[in-house]
């Protein structure tokens, strides 16, 4: 199988509107790239050398004031914030990664202040030094060198820790129930989603893709079966979108509430697995998302404070 390559006709200049949006957050730093939030939100950011992590601070206290001054690219809102004694929990992530969204959902649901560290997609050394291999998400608790310093990997282990540990408040997630219907749908539609989403991920202005090396690492590590070329899959988008839209309509009978996949509207471990996968589809411009799924994505995104990609879709 020939190696996948970055689409030549879709260089980053094609995505100038998306980059303009991202520039509200991303600006050159003295030593590399700094993630910068408007107004008071910028206080938690620090610079990172090229290819290294980019830091962001999570807080909802100044969001409304910032929105008055800047046209925020993602929805903002105010919700109770549970302050954690310094140092705050730190989550090492890629923004596009569904597994990284899982613990972010719990942070958002509980209103826990935390820091996000965005790793460059080609950074092998940082995660390997922490957990022995290149993987995300990674949760870091306590101060490095102290007795309470702790590092955790595996997304669902992190989710359970954040949900069940009393220091983060009472549990908020309902137990998972048997949803073979959703599991079967994800399995059958998975390749269609990958063919549409991966080539677009590779050219987004997200923090993990800020260098050519990072973008090439993503393409190299996320091959597609024939046709394997990312460019070929982008050219086939109209046909792939049509096929996926037919599959998405099948989900309408499986989503039983605008705020969860369950009829009682309570977020559960089923949503922790389902929402991150569906969030990735919002990067696909022109994809018709049926009303129940659209309402679900919008409501859960707002509830867990994890933005969708509609504003930078391509």
For residue 192, give the H/E element and its range: helix 180-201
Q: Exposure of 13 by Cβ count < 10 A (0-12 exposed, 13-18 middle, 19+ buried)?
A: exposed
Contacts of 31 (CB under 8 A, 6+ apart): 47, 48, 49
Q: Domain coordinates of the chain in residue numbers?
A: 20-168, 180-312
Mean pLDDT of 263-268: 93
Pick the closest to residue 229 from 198, 259, 254, 206 (CA basis). Answer: 198
**Per-residue pLDDT, 48:** 40
DSSP 70: S
What number does CATH give the domain 180-312?
Answer: 1.20.1050.10
- Least confident stretch, 73-77, 99-103, 184-188, 261-265: 73-77
**Per-residue pLDDT, 86:** 65
Sign of CA dihedral 202, 204, 208, 213: positive
Cβ atoms of residues 93 and 155 within 8 Å: no
Task: Determine the length of the chain.
Answer: 314
- Least confident stretch, 121-130, 238-247, 258-267: 258-267
Pick the closest to residue 189 from 123, 112, 278, 99 (CA basis). Answer: 278
Q: Round to whole Å and give the CA distance between 178 and 46.
A: 43
CA-to-CA dists, residue 38 to 23, 53, 71, angstroms: 11, 20, 10
Q: Round to whole Å and give the CA distance between 71 and 69.
A: 7
Tens digits of per-residue pLDDT, 188-198? 999 999 999 99
Confidence of residue 87 (pLDDT cuts 50, 70, 90): confident
Q: Round to whole Å and give the CA distance between 58 and 279.
A: 20
> What class, spelled out in words, does domain 20-168 have in CATH?
alpha beta
- Least confident stretch, 72-76, 127-131, 257-261: 72-76
**Per-residue pLDDT, 81:** 55
Tens digits of per-residue pLDDT, 211-224? 999 999 999 999 99
Q: Round to whole Å and give the CA distance between 240 and 205.
A: 23
Q: Exposure of 84 by Cβ count < 10 A (0-12 exposed, 13-18 middle, 19+ buried)?
A: middle
Q: Round to whole Å and give the CA distance between 14 and 286.
A: 16
Cβ atoms of residues 138 and 153 within 8 Å: yes
In whole numbers, what is the pLDDT of the chain averaged over residues?
82
Pick the closest to residue 304 from 85, 58, 122 (CA basis). Answer: 58
Centre a 10 Å sphere on the Cβ of residue 219 and count the other Cβ atoms it contains: 22
Residue 223 corresponds to which tokens in the numbers above? 């091959």
């Amino acid at each position: 199988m020939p190696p996948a390559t970055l689409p030549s006709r879709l260089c980053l200049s094609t995505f100038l509107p998306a980059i303009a949006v991202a520039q509200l957050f991303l600006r050159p730093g003295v030593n590399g790239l700094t993630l910068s939030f408007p107004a008071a939100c910028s206080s938690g950011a620090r610079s990172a050398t090229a290819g290294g992590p980019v830091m962001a601070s999570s807080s909802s206290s100044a969001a409304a004031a910032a929105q008055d001054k800047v046209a925020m690219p993602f929805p903002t809102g105010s919700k109770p914030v549970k302050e954690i004694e310094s140092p705050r929990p730190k989550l090492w992530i890629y923004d596009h990664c569904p597994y990284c969204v899982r613990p972010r959902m719990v942070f958002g649901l509980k209103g826990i202040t935390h820091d996000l560290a965005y790793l460059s997609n080609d950074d092998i050394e940082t995660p390997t030094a922490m957990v022995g291999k290149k993987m995300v998400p990674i949760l870091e608790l306590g101060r490095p060198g102290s007795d309470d310093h702790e590092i955790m990997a595996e997304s669902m282990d992190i989710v359970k820790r954040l949900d069940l540990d009393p220091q983060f408040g009472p549990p908020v997630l309902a137990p998972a129930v048997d949803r073979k219907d959703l599991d079967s749908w994800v399995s059958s539609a998975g390749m269609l989603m990958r063919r549409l989403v991966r080539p677009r991920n590779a050219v987004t202005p997200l923090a993990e893709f800020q260098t050519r090396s990072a973008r090439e690492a993503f393409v190299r590590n996320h091959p597609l079966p024939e046709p394997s070329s990312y460019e070929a899959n982008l050219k086939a988008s109209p046909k792939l979108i049509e096929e996926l839209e037919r599959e998405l309509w099948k989900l309408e009978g499986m989503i039983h509430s605008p705020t969860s996949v369950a009829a009682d509207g309570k977020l559960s471990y089923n949503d922790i697995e389902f929402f991150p996968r569906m969030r990735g589809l919002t990067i696909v411009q022109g994809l018709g998302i049926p009303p129940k799924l659209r309402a679900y994505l919008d409501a859960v995104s707002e509830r867990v404070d994890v933005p969708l990609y509609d504003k930078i879709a391509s």
